[in-house]
Each structure stands twice: as C-alpha cells, then as structure tokens.
Structure 1
Amino acid sequence: MRITVLGGCGAWPLRGEACSGFLVEQDGYRLAIDLGYGTMPRLPSPDVDAVIISHGHPDHCADLNPLLRARVLRDRPARPLPVFAPGGSLDAVLALDRPGMLDSGLDLREFTPGDRFEAGPFRVETALLPHWVPNAGLRLSAGGQVLAYTGDSGPSPDVARLARNADVFLAEASYVDAVPEEAVGFLSSATIAGGSAAQAAAGHLVLTHLLAETEPAAAVDAARSRFRGEVTAARSGLVLRL
C-alpha cells in the first residue's frame, strides 16, 4: 500500500499546500480519500479509480468539482467515477454546476457511517465520529495492511477502535493541545490524537488537518507526549510506503 498526502491543512490551504486529501494505491488501483481545496492539481492524473469523502465540509470535498470537470469536459470523457460519501454530504458541491452537467461522470454511492463496502482491493469499514456534520471515520484493509483515518472528529472511544493495530493512522489534529470551547467535542488536538494512537496500538501516527496557527513541530511533540510510535505531520507530497 502506498499513501500520498495531497494536503494536510485544516479549514483553508496555506501557500504551497492543500487541504485534506490522500491518494492510496494498491495493486495499481488508485483511491482518493477526501478532496479538499487545492488537492486536485496534486493528483498525478484525474484518472483515479474511486473517491471516498469523509464528510461534506468544503476543505474535504470542494475539489471533487474540478476532478469531475477534468473527467467529463474533454474529448474522450472518462467512465463514471465511483464516489462514496455519507448521504447528502455532497449536495452542495454537486450543485456548483448546472443540473446534469457532470452526471455522466459520477457514480454516486451514498452510505451511512457504520456501513462496510469494497472499493477495488480495499475493504472499507466506516464509523460515525463526532463532528458538526455527519462524518465517517474510515478503516481500509488491503494486502494485510491497514490504514485508518478520522476525517474530522472530536474525542471518542470509537476513534481508537477504528484505528486498532493500524499500520498508518491519519488523525485530525487541528490544535496542538487544548481545543477551544466552541470546538470541544467536534475537533481534536495532537495531544488527543497521540492518546488515541496509543490506545489503538497503531504503528505510524500522521497528524492532519492542522490549522494555520498550529505549528507542525509543536504538534508532533505534543503527540509524542502520549504516543511512543512514529509521528509525522502531514504535508503535501509526503509519501508513505507500507
């Protein structure tokens, strides 16, 4: 399994970076997980095999629009793209174009967090994790390896359960340590992510969705205060090979 970080910024992309997005490859199959602002130009090609969206906030799904445009508005349109997403979460981004414009390029497969399904060689387990909108945490298994991803999530015992013994755990860490009162229960910090990784006995913790004022080095140090395994801050272009 090969994981390429397309972006790891939370809320909006910093200069030269992008918001949440990951390309996961196995046996030649290319699966994009989340497509936030700025991620589409970082895909090696628009010809991915499928997309999974964790939730409907634009820093996780806005670039699905240009990806579909790149597949449909060309001399030889691509086949319909399977896109897995919680029910109703893509209504806003799919309404950006005139009705029907991108329909031929989209095979929308809505699911309810908690469902299981397959995407190419990947077995996908989902879990409803706490956020302001329905958010699906993901656990992908292929070739004896496991990738877990929180999307955006407040603290929950389900996070550690989702990431149990995962080889790579992509965990939202908007803040270094304390979460502001208005976001308590809906977002997490690097300290919280480190604790979840330790409970899960995960292998490699990758901190993602860092907000603009969250210093990556400080976030890594905070996570290491709770977790003894490898810790990395997500950045565009980072490649993880399992």
Structure 2
Amino acid sequence: MDIQVLGVGEAADPSFANSSLIVAAGGFRLMIDCGHSVPPVLWREMPDPDAIDALYFTHHHPDHCFGLVPALIRWTDDRRSKPLDIVTTAGGWKQLALLFQAGATDPDRSLSFPLRWVETPEDGTLGPFRLRTAPTRHSMPNRAIRLEAGGVAFAYSGDGRATPESEALFRGADLLFHECLTVEADPTQPFHAAHGQLADYPTRLGVRAMRLYHVRMGERERLAAACAADPRVLLARPGERIVLTPQVPAPGAV
C-alpha cells in the first residue's frame, strides 16, 4: 500500500494545502478529501486525468470538499474518460449537489466522464480495499476510514475527537493519520483532537505508526516538540510518500 500526502493544513492555513492524500494498492488510487486549496497540488502531483479511481469524503466542510468541482472541471478539460467513484454519505450527496449548482456544473452533462455515487459503508469493499468507517465527534457528521489491502491497514480520521467507534476502527493499524489541532485540549474547540488525547494510541491501540495533521497555525513547532517523545508519532509532511508493507515476525516469535 502506497500513501502520497497532498496536504496537511487546516482550513485557512496559508502555508499548507488542506489535508488530503492518495492511497494506492493494486493499481487503484483512492483520494481522501479534496478541500478548496487541494486542486493545484493534485494537478501538479497527478497530471494524468485518469489517475484517480475514487474520491472518499470524510465530511463536507469547505476544507474537505470545496475542491471537488474545480478538480472535475480540470479533468474534463484534460479529457478524462473513465468513471469516478465518489464515496460519501446520503447527506453528503445533497451537500455536494449544492456545490455543483454553485459551480454551474451539471454532473450528468458537463463532464467528459461519468460519476458513480457510492454510499459510505460501515464495512465494505472498494477496488482492492476492504473499507470500514466509523464516526468521530465533530461539528458535522464525519466518518473516519480504515483501508486494508495486501496484509496492511491504513486509517485516516478526518476531523473530530475520537469516539469509542473510531478508536476501535484504528486499533492495530499499521499507519494512522489523525487530525490534531493543538498540543493541549482547547475548551473552545470541542470538535477537534489534541496531542494529549492521542499520544498513547501507539501503545493503547497497538498503532504501529501515527502522523498528525490539520495542525493549527502557530502550533506546529510546539507539536513537533511534543511528538519527539515517541518516534512512532510524527507530524505529517506535504509531499511525503509512505509505503506500507506487512510486518515480518521476529525469528522465533509465535
């Protein structure tokens, strides 16, 4: 499984594109979230209009979905031909329809390729992936995602504080990307996670490695210092490429 990081920033970060990445396995590429500042990065990193097979939306705040219509228009201009799966909730479909309306784009007539709407499953498949989801605590419905393929598991929180369901989803993941707005929990931000709430995940949940993203502007230096206590926990970096391979048991392990 191959993870390519497009953006790691929060909603209005001038230095980092909105949080988004691409997960690939078996020749299939799934893009997770496409916020308003993501498309230029996507076009530079993936110039082939047919490169992305599916888009998954964790939720529908602007920094997670407002890049959809510009991406589709550019792919049409570049003559994309193959269908695109868009995976979102039933409520999410209605919100995305408003984006199409605002962007004067008819998804049935304006594009050079068909869109296929897939309702977010609790447990299902997409391409080569087993795909599972769970809710987090956020100001609008958000579903964290877990992808399994080739003997490895990758999880991505979207936004929001953990729930028992999301922690169960993350358990034993080879790599977890989790949003982390601040170092300490901020009472004015009840719908965003903090480092203090996540730091024990590698030990408590058996997460092999963790990357933190969606960091508040001005907090990155402090958060990097907090992460230094555990080499399993790092700040996510734009442009980072991570290849996950199955763990090999140590000699003599049972």
TM-score band by shorter chain is 0.7 to 0.9
1:29 is matched with 28
Pairing 1:1-242 to 2, within 5 Å after superposition: 1-15=1-15, 17-43=16-42, 44-45=46-47, 46-47=49-50, 48-74=52-78, 76-89=79-92, 90-98=96-104, 100-101=106-107, 102=110, 104-111=113-120, 115-179=122-186, 181-184=187-190, 186-215=191-220, 217-223=221-227, 228-242=230-244
Q: CA RMSD in A?
A: 2.0
Q: Deviations over 1:23-73 (max 9, x none)?
A: 111122111011123222223133211111100011111111111112223
Long gaps (5+) in structure 1:
none
Q: Is the 8 A contact 2:30 2:56 kept in 1?
A: yes
Q: Scaled by the length of structure 2, what TM-score is found? A: 0.84
Q: Is the 8 A contact 1:3 1:22 kept in 2?
A: yes
CA distance in 2 between counterparts of 1:219 and 1:147 reads 22
Give the distance between the partners of 1:94 and 1:153, measured in 2 at CA.
Answer: 26
Deviation at 1:218, TM superposition (A): 2.1
Bigger fraction of residues in strand? 1
Structure 1 pair 110–174 and aligned structure 2 pair: CA distance change class (3 A)? same
Q: What is the CA deviation profile of residues 61-112 of structure 1, one whole-angstrom value per residue up to 9, with x for unaligned ones? A: 11111111122234x3423310101222224433332252546542222336
Check the 8 A contact 2:53/2:83 in 1, yes or no.
Answer: no
Larger radius of gyration: 2
The count of corresponding residues between Structure 1 and Structure 2 is 233
Instruction: Report the residue type matching 1:205 in the other structure.
Output: M
Query: Residues 164-203 of structure 1, C-alpha deviation per residue, up to 9 Å, x if partnerless?
Result: 1101100010111122x2322x111122122334321101
3-state DSSP of counterpart to 2:173: coil
Change (3 A) 1:200 1:92: farther
Matched residue type, 1:12: A
Q: Is the 8 A contact 1:71 1:105 kept in 2?
A: no
Amino acid at match of 1:42: V
TM-score normalised by structure 1 residue count = 0.88
2:100 and 2:235 map into 1 onto residues whose CA distance is 31
Q: Secondary structure at the match of 1:88?
A: helix
Structure 2 contact 2–243 (Cα < 8 Å) conserved: yes
Percent identity, aligned pairs only, is: 31
- Residue type of the alignment partner of 2:189: A
**Local SS of the residue matching 2:143:** strand
